[in-house]
A and B are shown apart, each in its own frame.
Chain A
Amino acid sequence: MRNKHYLAFVFVLLLISAGRGMAQDGEAKMSLAFEKGDSLNSCKVIVTAADTPVADIDVKLYVQRLFSLLPVGDAVTTDEEGIASFEFPSGIPADLDGKLSVVARIEDDETFGNAEVKGSINWGVARKAQVELGRSLSGSRGNAPVYFIVVSNLIIAGIWGTLIYVVLQLFRIRKISRHLQSNKQA
């Protein structure tokens, strides 16, 4: 009797999990389209499943930063054509070419689970190469002030030159001994 209950319980569990699995089996396909407007740029995320547009699904848009994703506005719900439109802000700092990595995501949706699409667009503010302030104490290795390099190297060379001179004197001591020994032998 107890076994029957147990089997029924397992069966129900299997049904539920199969149902959930089937519910998420529908794979969402996402694509990105960038539209340049006169005053405003927009980014459209198109969501389809089995070649049919998916409506009423929340899509989030992000821009890739160094360590994490920066959300671009709130989540937008797709319309009947499966399109979620985002106003794309200007002035986001980008790499040297002004290129931004854009990521659109469906997150934890009941039907489609997680889905993601990545793209890149040239709408960011190009970061300028670090401006060298010329030679200074706070400059890089190659930009030390000339007087600093000259003075420090002169001091180092002076001291090490003296040390080398003293060490060479040691060999003169040995030379004198060898000379003495060869004289004795002669």
Chain B
Amino acid sequence: MSLNQIKSDKTTYETFTQEEYMVMKDELLRPVQRTGKWGKAWIAFLVVVCLAGLYAYYIQETRSKYLTVSLRDYTMWGVYISNFVFFVALSLIGVLMSAVLKLTHFEWYRPLSRIAEVIAVAAIMLAGVSIVAAMGRPDRLHFLFLHGRIQSPIVWDIIVIITYITTSLILLFIPLIPSLATCKNHLHNKPKWQMKMYEWLSFGWEGTPEQWKILKKSIRILTVLVIPLGVSIHTVTAWLFATTLRAEWDSTNFGAYFVSGAFLLGVAGMIVAVAIFRKAYKLEKYLTPMHFDKLGQALVLMSFIYIYFNVNEYLVPAYKMSSLHANHLLNLFTGDEAAVYWSVVFFGMFMPAILPLFRSMRKPVPLTIIAVVVVIAAWFKRYLIVIPGLAHPYLPIQDVPESWKHYSPSLVEMTIVAATFAAMMLIVTLFSRFFPIISVWEVAEGKLEGKDEIINYK
């Protein structure tokens, strides 16, 4: 490397740290520095919905479950379990939008990674909450640890959820350390406890080359580790169904089908989150139309992959239409669930596969609308996997009370489901009010255009 090159590199580096970095730091710390009245109103609204959910759960657990929830002998997994599958799927957002892009050197991941990771942590926590809400005897939860069999998919699920939650938390936390030092050094007029928290959590970060080396190595290890873990968590969720003796779940396709669906949901969820943070926190400079363009392309790819697995999942058994499958499939194609089924196919798969092929549809506003529709369709997709499957057992349902034959969630169930969504958004919102939602140092590093210098992002 010539002396001139070194000089020019150094100039770029110094100019950046001196001016651009300070501007960037201020812009990215702004949402942490101050919460506006709309921000407070939003948090208050989410808290109210969460409290309503807690009250509904109190009613569910203190009164007869036969009266408070619509779960019966046949449909014993209702919206709680479809909600659980939805949240597990959403938690894969961290794998795709942070780990995969990071490892494959797609530089545009940088402002997205922390958003993805915090959504992943919040989603997997609420997946756990959904499971507990679905339990008939939550007071016996610890029996799973005391008496669980390692051969049982339920135990695998518990193990993998705990492991994934821990890994995601550490993966969220480690890249946060330099940002915590930034918060400690540059935030002002904040409560003492908050500043103390930054100090304590920043592990005395000084930004020495040795510390950077340790930090980056740890991130690299976790980034590699989280990919198989993320795939495992959703595959095991699929196996909870596939290892059960039900015609419609009896599929070797189920793991890949679930994971591909999760990636589609992850991209759509990311688009919605990016659009909200961009607008609410005025981050247009960092979350640019380029990100929407790339995410739109990813949405097309994931939609086609998901369509492929859906063809395998539904059309292959439908071609044979054996008596075992006909009961369930005809109900989806032409029966009671047909309206929901075809809406999900159209809005949740074909629309995101076709529309973003056009550049104009990959602009922030149209793409966000498409993504919101995909997220809603994704929730109903999980509903269609869980509930009609249970309502069509091998033996015809005969001589049972009317309420056993059809399932429609009760008010208590829907309130709890709404509260899980509110809780997830509350976790993400509160996180973004205490910590920079875009990783300052990762974006700054990206601006160095691949140069290896370690700068002191304090």
Contacts and interface: CB of A to CB of B under 8 A. Distances in A.
A156 B166 CA distance: 13
Contact of A173 (B163, B170, B211, B229): B211
A162 B225 contact: yes
B225 A159 contact: yes
Nearest to A174: B203
B203 A173 contact: yes
Contacts of A178: 204
B210 interface: yes
Chain B, interface SS category: helix
A173 B205 contact: yes
B401 to A, nearest CB: 22
Contact of A180 (B147, B151, B206, B221): B206
A174 B199 CA distance: 11
Chain A, interface SS category: helix
> For B149, B167, B217, which residue has the most chain A Cβ atoms within 10 angstroms?
B149
A137 interface: yes
B289 interface: no
Interface in B92-147: 147
A163 B229 CA distance: 12
Contacts of A181: 204
Interface string B214-244: 1101100110010001000000000000000
Nearest to B210: A176
Contacts of A173: 177, 203-205, 211, 214-215
Contact of B208 (A137, A162, A167, A180): A180
B151 A144 contact: yes
A166 B229 contact: no
Nearest to B173: A170
B59 interface: no
B155 to A, nearest CB: 9
Contacts of A176: 206, 208, 210-211, 214
Interface in A156-186: 156, 159-160, 162-163, 165-167, 169-174, 176-178, 180-181
A73 interface: no
A173 B210 CA distance: 8
B148 interface: yes
Given A162-B225, A174-B204, A176-B208, A148 B167 contact: no
Nearest to A153: B150
B159 interface: yes
Given A159-B163, A163-B170, A176-B210, A140 B203 contact: no
Nearest to A167: B170
A174 B206 CA distance: 9
A163 B167 contact: yes
A169 B150 contact: no
A141 interface: yes
Interface string A81-111: 0000000000000000000000000000000
A162 B150 contact: no
Contacts, number: 69
Nearest to B166: A163
A123 to B, nearest CB: 36
B174 interface: yes
B229 A159 contact: yes
B222 to A, nearest CB: 6
Contacts of B218: 166, 169-170
A42 interface: no
Interface in B182-227: 203-206, 208, 210-211, 214-215, 217-218, 221-222, 225
Nearest to A172: B214
A68 interface: no
A137 B243 CA distance: 12
A3 interface: no
A95 to B, nearest CB: 24
Contacts of B151: 137-139, 144-145, 148
A77 to B, nearest CB: 38
Contacts of B217: 169
A169 to B, nearest CB: 5
A40 B424 CA distance: 72
A149 interface: yes
A114 interface: no
A159 B149 CA distance: 20
A166 B221 contact: yes
Contacts of A41: none
A154 to B, nearest CB: 12
Contacts of A165: 221
> For B170, B204, B225, which residue has the most chain A Cβ atoms within 10 angstroms?
B204
Contacts of A31: none
A162 B229 CA distance: 13
B245 to A, nearest CB: 13
A172 B204 CA distance: 11
A17 B395 CA distance: 55
Given A144-B151, A180-B206, 11 more contacts: A139-B151, A144-B150, A152-B150, A156-B159, A156-B163, A163-B167, A163-B170, A163-B225, A167-B170, A170-B174, A170-B203
Interface of A: 137-141, 144-145, 148-149, 152, 156, 159-160, 162-163, 165-167, 169-174, 176-178, 180-181
17 contacts: A137-B151, A141-B147, A141-B149, A148-B150, A152-B150, A160-B163, A163-B225, A166-B222, A167-B170, A170-B174, A171-B203, A173-B205, A173-B211, A173-B215, A176-B206, A177-B204, A181-B204
- Give the 10 A-B CB pairs with smallest separation, nearest first: A177-B204, A174-B203, A141-B149, A166-B218, A173-B203, A169-B218, A137-B151, A177-B206, A174-B204, A144-B150
